Structure 1
Amino acid sequence: MAESGSKSVLFVCLGNICRSPIAEAVFRKMATDAGVVDKWRIDSAATSTYEIGSAPDDRGQACMKKHDVPMAHVARQVTNDDFMGFEYILCMDNSNMTELERRAKQVKNYQAKIELLGSYDPEKQRIIKDPYYGSDEDFEKVYQQCLRCCKAFLENNS
């Protein structure tokens, strides 16, 4: 369980190399800039096993570099402990949500609030689409969505 007074968020997508590490990096920078990063445990993970051990997608890294957002992550899969250890698990689309809800049922008395990151979007774009088969513009769109959603999420939790 997270220590009292500390907050925690886990960002989740399918492979943990595109959307969730971008969201994690964006949120970490935002919390750092706001002077509250010490109050947060921030991580990201995958629903699948496809990319375990991989670095974030090169296009995502290039996008983060362009926006001066530091990013360092190694892909991992969501564990049962995550459902107990994180206050919020924020995912990118409905299939992530379905999979997380299925996994959560295997964890007795799990604590985490499982939500779509997009549910925080002031522009109401609830789904953050996987840019993996897309272009640099698709990664930029993910970044912009994460920026809006993370800002609103942080404001709700500060």
Structure 2
Amino acid sequence: MALKSPIAEAVFRKMATDAGVVDKWVIDSGATSDWNIDSSPDARGLACLRKHGIETSHRARQVTKDDFMSFDYILCMDENNLSELNRKAKLVKNHHSKIELLGSYDPQKQLIIEDPYYGSDKDFEKVYEQCVRCCKAFLEMNS
């Protein structure tokens, strides 16, 4: 599974580890653009994760054509990501990834997970909470 968020990746990895199924998943995250490639996640996002007992060593990378062939699921945060991922997927012959909004799994029906970059610590916490709900539901449906 590939996620378009280092927070979502870290949350899902921790949940899968805690559930004893992490070895059944290949978990990664990637960006649709080449902005900040090889950078660490935003310090506010890392602080939010640490507050919840989650560590990550993720480095930013861009989604590649191979991702559409190797991942069963590519989950993204908003309609711009969804549109861009679907556009890129069309360039990959016989791709099999299911591209969806992570929010489509939210039991509270908050479909879009807003980018917290221009927000506050509170916005990162909201993203974390959405990712927890969505990843939990996704894992329950796919285990």
Indicate the residue corresponding to 2:3 in structure 1: 11
Q: Does 1:34 align with 2:34?
A: no
Q: Deviations over 1:28-60 (max 9, x none)?
A: 000000000011100000001111010000000
Q: TM-score, normalised by structure 1?
A: 0.90
Root-mean-square deviation (CA, aligned residues, Å) is: 0.4
Indicate the residue corresponding to 2:94 in structure 1: 109
Alpha-carbon distance between aligned partners in 2 of 1:125 and 1:108, rounded to the nearest angstrom: 32
Q: Deviations over 1:9-38 (max 9, x none)?
A: 0001xxxxxxx0000000000000000001
Indicate the residue corresponding to 2:83 in structure 1: 98
Gaps of 5+ in 1: 1-8, 13-19
Alpha-carbon distance between aligned partners in 1 of 2:12 and 2:3, rounded to the nearest angstrom: 10
Shift, 1:70, TM fit: 1.6
Indicate the residue corresponding to 2:108 in structure 1: 123
Q: Deviations over 1:78-110 (max 9, x none)?
A: 000000000000000000000000000000010
Alpha-carbon distance between aligned partners in 1 of 2:33 and 2:25, rounded to the nearest angstrom: 25
Alpha-carbon distance between aligned partners in 2 of 1:66 and 1:147, rounded to the nearest angstrom: 14
Alpha-carbon distance between aligned partners in 1 of 2:56 and 2:11, rounded to the nearest angstrom: 8
Give the ranges of 4+ consecutive aligned residues of structure 1 lying more than 2 Å apart after TM superposition.
none
Q: Does 1:81 align with 2:73?
A: no
How many residues of Structure 1 are paired with residues of Structure 2 in the alignment?
A: 143
Indicate the residue corresponding to 1:139 in structure 2: 124
1:38-49 counterparts in 2 under 5 A?
38-49=23-34
Indicate the residue corresponding to 1:152 in structure 2: 137
SS at match of 2:28: strand
Q: TM-score, normalised by structure 2?
A: 0.99
SS at match of 1:68: coil
SS at match of 2:99: strand
